[in-house]
Amino acid sequence: MHLSAHPSKALALAITLASQGLYAEEMEVIEVEGHRLNGVSIVDLTDIQKKQANDLEDIFRDQPSITVGGSFGIAQKIYVRGIEDTNLNVSVDGATQAGYLFHHQGRLSIEPELLKQAELKAGAGTALDGPGALGGAIRFETKDAEDLLRPGEDFGALIKTGYYSNTEGYKASLNLYGRINDNWSGLLILGRNDTNEIEDGRGNTLANTSTEQELGLLKLSGEIVEGHKISLSHERRYDDGRRNLRPHFYDAPWNQTTDQVSRRETTTVNYEHDSQSDLIDLKISAFKTDNYLNQRDPSFDEGAGVESYGLNIRNSSQVGDHQLTYGVEYRDDRGYYINPNIEEDAKVYGLYVQDLFELNDTISISYGLRYDRYSLDDVDQQSFSASGFSPNANIEYKLDDAWSVRLGYSTALRGQKIKEAYLIGFRANHPDLKEEKANNAEISLQYQGDSVRGSLEVYRSEIEDVVGTVGTRATGRFFGNAGNLVTKGFALHIAKSWSQAELSMSYSRNEPELDGQPLDDGNLGIGTSFGDTLVINANYRFPEQNLELGWSGRFVQEMDDVQEGYIPKPAFNTQDVYLEWLPMGDEQLSVNLTVSNALDKYYLDHGTFGYDPDSQRTIGLPEPGRDLRLTLAYKF
């Protein structure tokens, strides 16, 4: 596996964030081609082909306000503005990825090869972001047949094979897709990814980082009768390997080696009804997802997971100048541990409404409200419940055709949830646990000209009574309210485009503090601090040669605002280059070459720095060194 930055994504990020506005489903998102759909910018992940993304860090690496720690796939965690993804509402095709398997590794199992698009909202957002979105929301959407079929084509296939020099690994996939009739289409994707162990920038082999992954997606989409559409999908992702028990730390006697199996299976049903009426645009989503980890060391046989069921019923109505979106949703999460067989159950019910309207030609207003009710019955026979409202309001003012300013305030409430599957029965919930409450205030200035775009965002977010592990080894550890988490910062994005080239710069500063102290590497499940980050991207297209060249640089400053007993996180920078060639002049055959970490730098991402004050050592895994990736794709 390899973690790399990719050249034109930050440009896309800058373009999108610069042009984002105020809409019913306001999402701060990554934009690859700069297009907009109903005012919502879309992350078109077909761009993955150019950069050969292989994991979460490859997807988000060029967004300076995000760091993905973990060094390789199974250990990766997403930090948005310093807030860990456990505090974000993450979904795949509408299926919420709830729970947390093990605090020493990542909880999200996402295969870029399957993705069509992703949307990111940083900070507490609108009523449409789902329950408990304290730090924001990420929505992934997988491909369907219509995304791959060419005009006039009824059936097709896409074969891809890739090689990774750093791990001497390969990745192969087969996509079969077609129209069954005028109303129905289907898609089948099968893939495999095998890698050897990672080599860092000093030429050291990182033990127990090899991977065997299998992936699959089956999707059927069609129209039952006119105006009634349905999509059925089943996705699975398996990840086997011999790993350290704490895979984000280096191999050592205290970090024993185990055979591990990680899997995620998600089944979704999505229904849409457009009655051609201004009052009815109905969408219903139902899902089941199961995320599971098994550590099969001969000395112990155990496993843990989180299984979720959910339903979301949503309708949109145009009433005069108002676009109203409202609905109800329900989710049931079951956390379970095998050997001994124990479990706990959490439920959440939600009602929500969001309104968008244009007051006049220059002012747009959006406001909404959620009501959520939570309950948790844990393994210790304790019962928790919480309920409350989460309002939000945004206003956008257009200064002229190019300039606009937006003010926003939003809140989010989260009651008690499944904390960590692998600690069910081992780490208790404090009996006086309070619900968490997020408050987010943001102001942004945007400019969108013919060839220049830019934005400046300034924000402050607070999560009151954030839940984490509290206590010590001596007194005992438990899940409790760790304090108030405050994040302040800003992000600046500038992009310039020409007929055949683009150039962009994105800069971000985040200051997450827990009760006035900067987050450290021990705040697992809450977040971490990372240095100011600058991302610069440039690419150039040669139309006559059907060729595109790109470069990306990521520059991270030293993180020296640390707690007593910790050391600063050193600065680092990485350089990536890529080439895409279409020998036949179209997408039928593509050749992609990427050199990530081209200067073979040795560094530790600030999301996996892993300094241990007791041993006074850095125990996190370094990032991979130089990796040359070559992918061939043929479409017929």
Residue 209: inside a domain? yes
> pTM above 0.75?
yes
What's the pLDDT score for residue 16?
A: 34
Give every CB contact of residue 531 below 8 A, 6+ residues apart in sequence.
556, 557, 558, 559, 569, 571, 606
Q: Provide the phi-psi class of 600: left if phi over 0, else alpha when psi is between -120 and 50, else beta.
A: left
Which residue shows structure tokens 């959006």?
A: 366
Query: What is the rounded CA–CA span in Å between residue 375 and residue 577?
Result: 49
What's the pLDDT score for residue 118?
A: 79
Q: Which of 201, 200, 262 is nearest to 421 (CA)?
A: 262
Backbone angles phi, psi at 422, to 5 degrees: -75, -10
Residue 479: inside a domain? no
Residue 476: inside a domain? no
Low-confidence ranges of the chain (pLDDT < 70): 1-48, 297-301
Query: What is the rounded CA–CA span in Å between residue 42 and residue 284?
Result: 21
Query: What is the rounded CA–CA span in Å between residue 61 and residue 531?
Result: 14
Three-state helix/strand/coil letters over 359-397: CCCCEEEEEEEEEEEEEEECCCCCEEEEEEEEEEEEEEE
Classify residue 180 by its DSSP letter: S
What's the pLDDT score for residue 2?
A: 36
| Strand order from edge to edge, sheet including 66-69 | 66-69, 77-80, 83-84
Q: Which of 134, 106, 112 is nearest to 121 (CA)?
A: 134
Residue 3 pairs in a beta bridge with: none
What's the pLDDT score for residue 44?
A: 61
Query: What is the rounded CA–CA span in Å between residue 628 and residue 636?
Result: 27
**Quick count: other Cβ atoms within 10 Å of Cβ 525?**
20
Query: What is the rounded CA–CA span in Å between residue 448 and residue 150?
Result: 32
What's the pLDDT score for residue 347?
A: 97
Query: What is the rounded CA–CA span in Å between residue 552 and residue 536?
Result: 6
Strands 342-358 and 363-377, sheet pairing: antiparallel
The burial class, CB within 10 Å (0-12 / 13-18 / 19+), for 238 is middle
- C-alpha angle 414/379/432, rounded to 5°? 50
What's the pLDDT score for residue 350?
A: 97
Q: Give the model confidence (pLDDT) of 150-208 as tens digits.
A: 888 999 999 999 999 999 999 999 999 999 998 999 999 999 999 999 999 999 999 99
Counting the structural domains of the chain, the total is 1
State the amino acid at position 300 in one-letter form: F
HSE-CB for 615 with a 13 A CA cutoff: 8
Residue 336: inside a domain? yes
Domain coverage including residue 572? 9-448+458-469+490-635
Q: How far is CA 280 from CA 316, 325, 326, 330, 539, in A?
A: 6, 10, 11, 21, 44
CATH for 351? 2.40.170.20
Query: What is the rounded CA–CA span in Å between residue 596 and residue 630?
Result: 11
On whether the CB atoms of residues 509 and 489 are closer than 8 A, the answer is: yes
Q: Give the model confidence (pLDDT) of 494-538 as tens digits.
A: 999 999 999 999 999 999 999 999 998 889 899 999 999 999 999
Residue 52: inside a domain? yes
3-state helix, strand, coil in the chain (%, to 5): 10, 60, 35
Query: What is the rounded CA–CA span in Å between residue 443 and residue 107?
Result: 31
Query: What is the rounded CA–CA span in Å between residue 488 and residue 475?
Result: 33
On whether the CB atoms of residues 336 and 307 are closer than 8 A, the answer is: yes
How many residues does this entry show for the chain? 636
Query: What is the rounded CA–CA span in Å between residue 297 and residue 300?
Result: 6
Q: How far is CA 23 from CA 34, 395, 403, 543, in A?
A: 17, 10, 17, 36
State the amino acid at position 212 in one-letter form: E
Residue 323: inside a domain? yes
Strands 436-448 and 403-414, sheet pairing: antiparallel
CB < 8 Å & 24+ apart, contacts of 580-583:
580/49, 580/50, 580/547, 580/548, 581/545, 581/546, 581/547, 582/546, 582/547, 583/546
Residue 425: inside a domain? yes
Classify residue 625 by its DSSP letter: -
Q: Give the model confidence (pLDDT) of 276-294 as tens digits.
A: 899 999 999 999 999 999 8
Residue 484: inside a domain? no
Classify residue 249 by its DSSP letter: B
What's the pLDDT score for residue 47?
A: 64
What's the pLDDT score for residue 258?
A: 86
Strands 403-414 and 517-518, sheet pairing: unpaired
What's the pLDDT score for residue 5?
A: 36
Give every CB contact of residue 210 below 8 A, 6+ residues apart in sequence.
167, 195, 196, 197, 241, 242
Q: Which of 85, 111, 328, 364 is nearest to 216 (CA)?
A: 111
